[in-house]
Amino acid sequence: MVQYTNPEIARKRLADVILPKSGISDLKVLGAFRKIPRHLFVEEALQLRAYEDKALPIGHGQTISQPSTIGMILQTLDLTGKERVLEIGSGSGYQSALLACLAENVFTIERIPALAKQAWNRLSSLGISNVAIRTGDGTYGWPDQSPYDAILVSAGSPGIPDHLIQQLRVGGRMMIPVGGAKTQRLIKIVKRPSGIERSELDLCQFVKLIGKFGWEKKQTNVQKETHELD
């Protein structure tokens, strides 16, 4: 384990050395990792470990995902900068910030109010102006802002929620981890005029997708609260 006291050097090493070794070659994706300071999205006690290629705890039983996993997902989505993207599971807000560098508009949902507030504060402090955050059950999606060019689900699901596919534009794609409670496989969905095209990618480990159409088949009592950056 290598720790860096200089976050600028560590961030550059993540983008220039660690991620390319993991197969991340998209220059736009690497540029986003080079720009967004991951150490600001974890607790102070973990900041020296922020640029390791590892998932880290962010409280409330949630994690900030491994950078190489995020990088592979973003590279597979192949964003051009003109898309409307829906993210299910804002978490720390780090992936939301990366998406903000790669898409025109990002709509992100977090079921835990404290995490949503933290993510909002971090994105705002970085001057990111193209992300809106909603607190609530992400398995419903965000239908009043659909259709989306891309949907990214950042939690493991027992299946693929039809609600989310319905919110995809024709030609749109979705990345979602599908499987058991501990191990899933990343699935890429492309919505074609003739139907759904599905391909299976790498094995992965995400926290559970909790909600009406996820692991818990019941409504949550979380009040929806929406934040939009100006």
What residues act catalytically?
A: 65
The pair of three-digit structure tokens given for residue 98, joined into one six-digit string: 């990366």
Is residue 176 within 8 A of residue 153, CB to CB? The reply is yes
Question: In Å, what is the CA distance from 2 to each residue of 51, 52, 135, 143?
Answer: 9, 7, 36, 43
Tell me how far the alpha carbon of residue 114 is from its chain's centroid: 17
Helices and strands, counts by H and E, the chain: 7, 10
Cis peptide before 147 (omega within 30 of 0): yes
Helix locations, 41-112, DSSP H = 67-77, 94-102
Closest CA to 138 of 53, 204, 222: 222
First CA to last CA distance, the chain:
40
What crossing angle do the helices spanning 67-77 and 27-35 adopt, rounded to 10°? 140
